Structure 1
């Protein structure tokens, strides 16, 4: 019996293939009853494509699975999240997390052949499970990747009614920006906006004496000549390190104070307290009212 590229365990048994044979080379078990015959290795994205064959036609990948596929920083979960139209009995599989959702056509997009919840729907779904700072980081990433716009999000939240998490989504939506370049930048910005300190600007330019933009900082306060930078692992690269030295030198030469953060400093308390100390040193004082 000639097996197709994708088959069930029942089909394999009918073809005379034992479990020990399937555990050997050439086969990958995609789910508890779905097997793929391979010539090459299969990656996580391809696995989701194969899983579609056992899902109802109205299924769409959702939540953290959708966020990953749409370009957010979230890792693919071990069990794929899927949204299905509510029915009397939702199909359950050990390898899936199934969510009942009534989705409009605009709430689903085709992403290289996969049905995936839209950026706005994904943001709304995750608002029920992510803390505000992480939700903002996901929203920034979706904006930056071109899978979300302010108008699309506003339209989706306007018809969300009393969906779980919608209050958090509406509070976080005005904070989003496509200019944030990474999750740590988004987290830092949210903590500062949520604090008693003045809201920071994003991607603040630095100019030379001729007025040309020569550098940009992740966050900053031009009024108080303060800039905040997050140093990720990529900054350890020798070439990047040299570029960073140039940028910081140009900012300092213009009279700005540069406050630098690394992964060990990435907590709300540390970011807010150090930024407040730096702002005070630059002349900022809280409004007495």
Structure 2
């Protein structure tokens, strides 16, 4: 800002003390709270906005819930207001654009990522267990594991000391379904819907082998015993190069006797269709309830 380095975010008081005029702040600053700005020279990502909030929050404030999940790499849209968690205290901060939640966090319930205090993967999963439907909770848990922010042991330990916590029953029911092998939210949702319908749980990234037993490709989800595979076709599959690789992969699978079911975004609103077609495919290969 005209030779005055303020970084990605600043407060009104901070900018004025360094000689920045009101007009310069109006031109440069994107207000995210009263007296708090993100410079228009930077993309107002969630991490940038959270880093800005630390200028106004108590030192022990921890970003939590959906905000934490998004910061930790889960494919979850956070609310417009930034969510923080504080230990109990007589007076809680109240500001527009901020949601404050009270938790008696232990130190191992908090991690520091890129200078931001964030609830741990296990604590975030537990907090969201009271807020998300089971399928979405599994998707978040898978994403946290995939990003390296959650392990089965860490989650088991946190859930073990969560008796009476809202959402713990759902969290404990979903925890055994989590896997770091699921590569996307749709894969996680499909796995959950198939499980809850009473079908065998498909294996993520199931290996497809050639006639000599060599692994040649992997399917998103599948059943090696019955040679039934499920593939989710996201937008990236429309890329010509990716499309060519997909065709090669599908022909290899077909040549080895695999029955391939392909799903797209439109099917995510119709879980019963996915379940029905998966069951029919399994039955055609000899599976019985």
Q: Give yes or no for TM over 0.5.
A: yes
Deviation for aligned residue 1:10: 10
Do residues 146 (structure 1) and 148 (structure 2) align? yes
Work out the CA distance in 2 between the residues paired with 1:259 and 1:84: 47
Deviation for aligned residue 1:42: 4.1
Deviation for aligned residue 1:4: 8.4
Work out the CA distance in 1 between the residues paired with 2:233 and 2:65: 29
For structure 2, the 5+ residue unaligned runs are none
Corresponding residue for residue 84 of structure 2: 82
Corresponding residue for residue 11 of structure 2: 7
TM-score by length of 1: 0.91
Q: Tell me, what secondary structure is at the counterpart of 1:121?
A: helix
Q: Give the 5 Å matches for 1:117-132.
A: 117-132=119-134
Asked whether the equivalents of residues 11 and 55 of structure 2 are also in contact (C-alpha less than 8 Å), the reply is no
Corresponding residue for residue 281 of structure 2: 278
Work out the CA distance in 2 between the residues paired with 1:137 and 1:16: 45
Work out the CA distance in 1 between the residues paired with 2:15 and 2:223: 65
Q: Tell me, what secondary structure is at the counterpart of 2:26?
A: coil
Corresponding residue for residue 164 of structure 1: 166
How many aligned residue pairs are there?
A: 282
Asked whether the equivalents of residues 139 and 189 of structure 2 are also in contact (C-alpha less than 8 Å), the reply is yes
Q: Greater shift after overlay, 25-34 or 255-264?
A: 25-34
Deviation for aligned residue 1:17: 5.2
Work out the CA distance in 2 between the residues paired with 1:198 and 1:34: 52
Asked whether the equivalents of residues 32 and 95 of structure 1 are also in contact (C-alpha less than 8 Å), the reply is no
Asked whether the equivalents of residues 69 and 124 of structure 2 are also in contact (C-alpha less than 8 Å), the reply is yes
For structure 1, the 5+ residue unaligned runs are none
Deviations 1:257-281 (A, max 9, x none): 1011111111321111111111122
TM-score by length of 2: 0.91
Q: 1:280 to 1:125 in 2, by over 3 A?
A: same
Work out the CA distance in 1 between the residues paired with 2:151 and 2:84: 23
Q: 1:35 to 1:197 in 2, by over 3 A?
A: closer
